[in-house]
Amino acid sequence: MKRSALMFAVLLGAASFLAQAQESRPYTEGPVMEVSFIKIKPGKFDDYMAFLAGPYRDLMDADKKAGNITGWAIWNARAGSPKDADIILTTTYANMAALDGLEDRTAPAVDKVYGSRQKSNAAYADRESMREVLGSELVRELILK
């Protein structure tokens, strides 16, 4: 009995400490953004932009309408060297939890735009003739209180 009372007191103290620590943070966790860095292959800029204006836009708009994402954008970057990105693609999610089960939730839009997952994979291979994905990052906004 004494042991369980002691355990309860320790847990209560720990919970109180954690609640106090969270209140003292000068920020809250905000939306999450996936940022992809793209290098366009020579002579392929207009072709890649046509893809972005077509199937890519259709997918992003469908995902936004379905509530899978909160926004998306295309950024033109001034490459500082031949190995830097020309285009930066961003996709914004409400929070980290929005990434759980994302592929299953976006599958209907992929099927609608491409007809099937196989056709989507073939289109991905076609895009590789126009661009090189240099990398991507997942970042979270921290909102100051």
Classify domain 27-144 at the CATH topology level: Alpha-Beta Plaits (3.30.70)
How many residues in total does the chain contain? 145
pLDDT digits (tens, 9 = 90+) for 19-47: 555 678 999 999 999 999 999 999 999 99
pTM, to two decimals: 0.79
Most confident range (mean pLDDT) of 6-15, 76-85, 87-96 is 87-96
C-alpha–C-alpha distance, residues 116 and 107, integer Å:
9
Q: What is the dihedral of CA 65, 51, 72, 97, to 10 degrees?
A: 70
pLDDT at 18: 54
Show me where the domains of the chain are located: 27-144
27: tokens are 């920020």
Read off the tokens for 77: 């970057």
The residue whose two tokens read 């953004």 is 33
